[in-house]
Homo-oligomer: A and B are copies of this chain.
């Protein structure tokens, strides 16, 4: 939907490139676990749903990591990608809205694998405040600004109901949050310096339905 571009001295690349690098990184880690030490762009792509040219081009925006005639050294490429993406050091994030989805995210293993740690959680519901879920204490929304500032958290997961999402996002921005992963089905209005990424399950499902309906008609 919103199309971001990122420009370096080398050249300009799309934001999708970064998402793909993240995908590459995850799959390279799997290869490493399997003991594979070297891989060519042609042999890695079955895992990725991406062409080999795309794979090479994505990497080329950041440097030359392969050996011609050989391929890529898995361990090295993992290190380089972690460096590029910034996951070589731990990132602390906040979570707002400890509903069902929020609780699921508190226990999501995928984050810790990427050195991402939820360090604080907030909810408006007094019954939830004070509880400790997955090792994280749920705090009152009123303390949001203080705690986020003190812990120097820059990224938040927004899992509140849609009616309060805009209001909460403004509080987050005021508290110094610079990136929001938005799970609420609402387009947030935030300053352009703040980056929002939307995870919209209902839209995904609805587009799936469109596709199926079409194919049924064909049959």
Residues of B within 8 A of A99 (CB): 104
Q: List residues of chain B with CB within 8 A of the CB of A154.
A: 212
Q: Which of B15, B100, B110, B207 contacts A207 (CB 8 A)?
A: B15
Contact of B110 with A100 in the complex, beta carbons under 8 Å: no
Contacts of A19 in B (CB 8 A): 1, 200, 203-204, 206-207
Q: Which A residues lie at the B interface, using CB under 8 A?
A: 1-2, 4, 6, 15-16, 18-23, 25-27, 46-50, 84-87, 91, 93, 99-101, 103-105, 107-108, 110-111, 113-114, 116, 154-155, 178-179, 181, 185, 187, 189, 193, 195, 197, 199-215
Are B26's CB and A209's CB within 8 A?
Answer: no
Are B179 and A209 closer than 8 Å at their CB atoms?
Answer: yes
Known: A100-B103, A101-B104, A104-B100. A204 touches B212 (CB 8 A): no
Q: List 15 A-B contacts (CB under 8 A).
A: A18-B207, A19-B203, A19-B204, A19-B206, A48-B187, A86-B213, A100-B104, A101-B108, A105-B201, A110-B185, A111-B202, A116-B202, A116-B206, A195-B211, A197-B207
**Oligomer copy total:** 2
Structural contact, B111 and A49, CB atoms closer than 8 A:
no
The 8 Å CB contact of A49, one of B2, B101, B205, is B2
Task: Using A86-B209, A110-B201 as known contacts, say yes or no to A20 and B49 having CB atoms under 8 A apart.
Answer: no
